[in-house]
Amino acid sequence: MWFHIELGLVEKEVLELIESCDINKLGRDAKVSALRLLKAERAPSGKLPLIADRDLTGVYIHEALGHPCEADLVAAGDSCLDGKLGQKIGSDIVTVIDDPTIRTGYGAHPIRR
């Protein structure tokens, strides 16, 4: 079975063999799950305490900011950061630094000065 996946500017075709795939059952199961979620209790909102894993926080920051900063997305106008150069985009209590010269940082690269 061929699946075509389109993600923004990136298109990938993936060949996946599924021997016992019942598409109708998958659809019925998805319907049941969706209907159940319509009746779900609302999650609490407001200011809540947060305990964040250091490594996962880096992944979340990368997904939220790293991908939108990719030049191809910005150039195509497909980035949520398009047109925001020089503008504040986040909270005053969060600082994100993208500097590959910080030796202990993720993505650090040895360079000669």
- The pLDDT tens digits for 55-107 are 788 888 888 888 888 888 888 888 988 888 888 888 898 888 777 777 777 66
Assigned domain for 12 exists: yes
Whether the pLDDT of residue 39 is over 90: the answer is yes
pLDDT value at residue 104: 78
pLDDT value at residue 14: 44
pLDDT value at residue 45: 93
Assigned domain for 64 exists: no
Per-residue pLDDT reduced to its tens digit, 4-35: 555 544 444 444 545 566 778 878 988 999 99
**CA dihedral sign, ordered 22, 27, 32, 37:** positive
Assigned domain for 89 exists: no
pLDDT value at residue 33: 92
Confidence tier at 110 by pLDDT (50, 70, 90): low
Assigned domain for 16 exists: yes
Assigned domain for 92 exists: no
Mean of the pLDDT values across residues 41-47?
91
- Structural domain range at position 33: 2-38
**Domain count within the chain:** 1
What distance in Å separates the CA atoms of residue 25 and residue 10, rounded to the nearest whole number? 30
Nearest to 107 by CA among 66, 74, 69, 76: 66
pLDDT value at residue 17: 46
Contact 52, 83 (CB under 8 A): no
Assigned domain for 9 exists: yes
Assigned domain for 34 exists: yes
Assigned domain for 26 exists: yes
